[in-house]
Amino acid sequence: MPFDLLKKYWGFDTFRPLQKQVIDSVLEGRDTLALLPTGGGKSLCFQLPQLMKDGLALVISPLVALMKDQIENLRAKGIKALAVNSSMSRSEIELALNNAVYDPDCKFLYLSPERLGTTLLRSYLDSLPISTIVVDEAHCISQWGYDFRPDYLLIGQIREVLPEVPVLALTATATPQVCEDIMEKLAFKEKNVLKGDFSRENLKYVVRECNDKLGQLLTICQKVQGSGIVYMRNRRKCEEVAQFLKSCGVSADYYHAGLRSESRSQRQQSWKESGIRVMVCTNAFGMGIDKPDVRFVVHMDIPDSMEAYYQEAGRAGRDGLKAYAVLLYNKRDISRLYQMVELSFPTPEFIEEVYQKIHVYYQIPYETGEGRELKFDLAEFCKHFSLPRVSTHYALEYLSRIGHFFYTEDVDIPTRVKILPERKSLHYLDFPKPEMISLLELLMRSYTAIFSYAVPVDEKYLAANLSLTVPQLRVLLYELSLEHVIRYIPCAVSTVICIRHPRLAPKNVNLRLDYYNKLKEAALQRASMMEKYCLNRTESPSDMFLKYFGVEPSTE
C-alpha cells in the first residue's frame, strides 16, 4: 500500500533512506522523532501515511512560504490541505477551521506555531478530527538548540488536550542532548529516535583561511558552474557583495528579511528558475527551498553553530551530483565568533532596564499592558534612550525567550482597509472613476467586517478580480482614501512586540538567571565547536558533523 501511494502521488518506485521506517512508525501510532538530513524528504514521511489514516494531520511549521509550497504541491496531487497563519484575517481563519472540521476529504491543516495559543484555535480543538500531530523543524522546541522559538512550547499544551494523538517530530539538525529535550517537551510516551544518514558523499566540504574573501568568492563563481548561494551575516554587505559579483560579470542578486515580501518572492522565484545564478543572502534565505541543482554554498562569515552550518551548507547538491560547501574565514572571524556570544548575552541589569523602558516608551503603567501588540522601531527606540542597538536587540530576544514579550522582526503586515461611510450612504456618493465602485463592491463581498474595522486584504486577489496590477490597485486604494471613502493602511515590513503579562515593578522581573547562565554556556560551546571545525586539520569535516550529531563515522 505505501509503495502504491508513493508511485501514484509522487511518481517514485523506491523510498529514500529511512523514509519507510518513519512511515511504518507513524502508522503504528508511535511517537516518533525523525532526524533526516537537509533534502532527505521529510514532508513525505507524514504526507504519505496520513493518506492511509482517517482524519487529518495537524502540521506545525514556522515558515509561511514552506506551508504555501507544500499545500500547493498537495493540491496539485488532488489532496485537500488548508493553512492557518498570522497573515490571515480572523474571518479567513474561521473559514479554514470550519472547512477542516466539516470536510472529510481534508487531510492536512498547517498551522504556524504562534496560532496555537489563540482562543479561536483552542475552541476548535475538540471538533477537529486530528489523527496525527506533525512538528516540523522540531529542534525549535529545545531551549538548548541553536534556534529555540518560545511558541513551540505551546505544542506541549496541545498534547495535553489530545493525549492519544501520536506526534511525529521532524528535524535535520539535533544533537543527542537536543533530541532528549524534544522528546521531553513533546511528552513522548516512549523514546523513539530514527536517524538518517548524515553523510553526503557528493558534497565536498572546504574550509579555507584567507584574507581576500571577495577574490576567493569570485574564483569559486568562475570555476564552479551552476547555481550558488553566498551567506553573509550583514544585510548591507549582502547588497555590496551582490553588486561586486555583478560588476565582475556574475549573474547575482541579494536577499534579506528587510526586503518587501513581494520583492523577496520575486528574487527567490528568479533564483529557483535560474534567472539569477548566485543569491547573496542572510540566513533568512533558503529554508524550505527545494532546488536540487545548487552546485555551491559559500559562507563568508562563520555561522553560529554546527547545526546552522550543516543545514545551510546542505542546500547544495540535493540532486546527488558533485557540489561544494565552502567556509571562508580569517583569524578576526574567530575572535568575532566569541564577541558575538558576549553581545548576545547583555547583562541582566541591562535586560531589566530594556524591559522597563519598553513600557515607558509606550506609556504603559504598572500592572497593565497584557496582550498589547506594538509596532516597534528598534533604531528609534535606541536613539530615544541612547541605548546600544545590538545589545538592546538581544535583550528583547531574551525577554521573549523567557516569556515576558513576544518579539519578532520583519513581520509582513498586510494592507488593511476600512470603509468609512455607512453601507447605505455609498449609493449616494459620486466617484470620479467607475473602477472605484467595482473595487468597493468587491471589498464588501469579500470582507464582511470591513465597515467595523480595518481588515487585512489580499491585494493579489483584489487586483486579479479587477483585472489590475497590484501597483494599479494600490493607486486606486490611495485615491479612495483621498475621497474619504476608506481608511487605507498600506502593507509594510515591521518589527512587532506583544506584551505577554501586566507590567512588573522594578526588581520584580524574573530573569531566570540560572537559565541565562546555562544558555550562555551552551552558546560558548557552539562557538568553540565552530572554531574547532575551522582549525581542524586532522579529521574530515564530514566525520566532524557525524560525531556532533551522535552518529559514529564509518570505519570502512
Q: Is residue 251 part of a domain?
A: yes
Q: Which residue has the cell 516518533?
A: 32
pLDDT digits (tens, 9 = 90+) for 112-142: 888 887 778 888 888 999 999 999 999 999 8
Residues 227 and 239 in one domain: yes
CB atoms within 10 A of CB 202: 12
State the pLDDT confidence band at 184, using cuts at 50, 70 and 90.
very high
Residues 126 and 262 in one domain: no
CA 542, 44, 277, 293 dihedral sign is positive
CA atoms of 504 and 523, how far apart (whole Å): 29
State the pLDDT confidence band at 97, using cuts at 50, 70 and 90.
very high
Q: Looking at per-residue confidence, does 41 or 133 come out higher? A: 133
pLDDT digits (tens, 9 = 90+) for 58-72: 999 887 777 888 888
Residues 345 and 423 in one domain: no
Question: By residue range, what is the domain housing residue 230?
Answer: 203-329
Residues 165 and 254 in one domain: no
Strand order in the sheet with 492-499: 373-376, 492-499, 405-413
Residues 486 and 507 in one domain: no
Instruction: Say what the pLDDT of residue 385 is.
Output: 97
DSSP 81: E
Q: Is residue 142 part of a domain?
A: yes
Instruction: Say what the pLDDT of residue 436 is.
Output: 92
Instruction: Say which residues have a Cβ less than 8 Å from residue 153's Cβ, sequence separation at least 6.
Output: 141, 185
Q: Is residue 101 part of a domain?
A: yes
pLDDT of 205 over the 90 cut:
yes
How far apart are the two ends of the chain, measured CA to CA in Å?
A: 36
pLDDT digits (tens, 9 = 90+) for 229-276: 999 999 999 999 999 999 999 999 999 988 887 788 899 889 999 899
Residues 394 and 479 in one domain: no
CA atoms of 327 and 340, how far apart (whole Å): 18
Instruction: Say what the pLDDT of residue 412 is.
Output: 65
Q: Is 421 helix (H, G, I), strand (E, B) or coil?
A: coil
> Strand 416-419 to strand 486-489: parallel, antiparallel, or no bridges (unpaired)?
antiparallel
> Strand 278-281 to strand 252-255: parallel, antiparallel, or no bridges (unpaired)?
parallel
CA 366, 370, 373, 378 dihedral sign is positive
Q: What is the CATH number of the domain that holds 398?
A: 1.10.10.10
Instruction: Say what the pLDDT of residue 20 is.
Output: 92
> Strand 455-456 to strand 416-419: parallel, antiparallel, or no bridges (unpaired)?
antiparallel
Q: Which residues pair with 253 in a beta bridge?
A: 279
Can you say how many angstroms the Cα of residue 489 is from the centroid of all Cα atoms in its chain? 25
Instruction: Say what the pLDDT of residue 288 is.
Output: 62
Mean pLDDT of 16-41: 89
Q: Which residue has the cell 558523499?
A: 201
Residues 375 and 464 in one domain: no
Mean pLDDT of 352-377: 93
Q: Which residue has the cell 528583547?
A: 396
Mean pLDDT, all residues of the chain: 90
Closest CA to 355 of 323, 312, 387: 387
State the pLDDT confidence band at 554, using cuts at 50, 70 and 90.
low
CA atoms of 46 and 244, how far apart (whole Å): 43
- Domain total for the chain? 4
Q: Burial, 281: exposed, middle or buried (Cβ in 10 Å; 0-12, 13-18, 19+)?
A: buried
Strands (E), 263-318: 278-281, 294-299
Q: What is the CATH number of the domain that holds 304?
A: 3.40.50.300
Residues 481 and 504 in one domain: no
* 449-473 burial code (b ≥16 CB/10 A, e <16): ebbeebbbbbbeebbeebebeeeeb
Q: What cell was used for 81?
A: 490541505
Residues 16 and 136 in one domain: yes
Residues 306 and 322 in one domain: yes
What's this model's pTM, rounded to 2 decimal places?
Answer: 0.76
Closest CA to 134 of 18, 6, 31: 31
Mean pLDDT of 190-203: 88
Q: Is residue 73 part of a domain?
A: yes
Instruction: Say what the pLDDT of residue 410 is.
Output: 60
Mean pLDDT of 365-393: 93
Residues 368 and 403 in one domain: yes
pLDDT digits (tens, 9 = 90+) for 279-334: 999 988 876 677 889 999 999 999 999 999 998 998 999 888 999 999 999 999 99
Residues 91 and 182 in one domain: yes
Instruction: Say what the pLDDT of residue 411 is.
Output: 61
Contact at 8 Å (CB) between 332 and 211? no
pLDDT of 400 over the 70 cut:
yes
Q: Burial, 79: exposed, middle or buried (Cβ in 10 Å; 0-12, 13-18, 19+)?
A: middle
Can you say how many angstroms the Cα of residue 311 is from the centroid of all Cα atoms in its chain? 14
User: What are the angstrom distances between the C-alpha of 548 and each of 32, 175, 357, 513?
Assistant: 21, 7, 41, 28
Q: How many helices (H) and strands (E) does the chain have?
A: 21, 19
State the pLDDT confidence band at 555, using cuts at 50, 70 and 90.
low
Mean pLDDT of 167-192: 92
pLDDT of 524 over the 90 cut:
yes
Instruction: Say what the pLDDT of residue 231 is.
Output: 97
CB atoms within 10 A of CB 335: 11
Instruction: Say what the pLDDT of residue 247 is.
Output: 96
Instruction: Say what the pLDDT of residue 130 is.
Output: 95
Q: What cell was used for 509?
A: 522581573
pLDDT digits (tens, 9 = 90+) for 141-173: 988 877 888 788 889 888 888 989 999 999 988
